[in-house]
Amino acid sequence: AQRVTQPEKLLSVFKGAPVELKCNYSYSGSPELFWYVQYSRQRLQLLLRHISRESIKGFTADLNKGETSFHLKKPFAQEEDSAMYYCALTVGYGKLTFGQGTILTVHP
């Protein structure tokens, strides 16, 4: 069975500080990992996909198969980064399995 764990429900940082949102997964095969973000009153949108290895809005995420983790990082948080962040996993083109989400608040 697939499972995604985001251990922090809430994360608060000050503007300019580094931020790391943790994500651990369990799946025996080779999943696709994603980070989705939901800003206030907006729809869920894709932030990052592990295979693309891009940096979006200054965020990066590295898949660590040994630790089964896919933590999201940004070196200098901005107030506009305040949102709900979900880590998600899929196998093939099927369903996404989401974590419970982390609410990130960036204080001025």
Residues lying near another protein in the complex (CB under 8 A) are found at 4, 9, 32, 34, 36, 43-46, 49, 51, 86, 88, 90, 93-101
| C-alpha to C-alpha distance for 101 and 66, rounded to whole angstroms | 23
83/99 with CB nearer another protein? 99
Shortest Å, Cβ 9 to another protein: 8
Single out the residue of 70, 104, 102, 74 nearest to residue 86, CA to CA.
102
| C-alpha to C-alpha distance for 88 and 15, rounded to whole angstroms | 26
Shortest Å, Cβ 25 to another protein: 13
26/78 with CB nearer another protein? 26
Task: Give residue 24's identity as a one-letter amino acid code.
Answer: N
Shortest Å, Cβ 3 to another protein: 11
| Both structure tokens of 45 | 């949108």
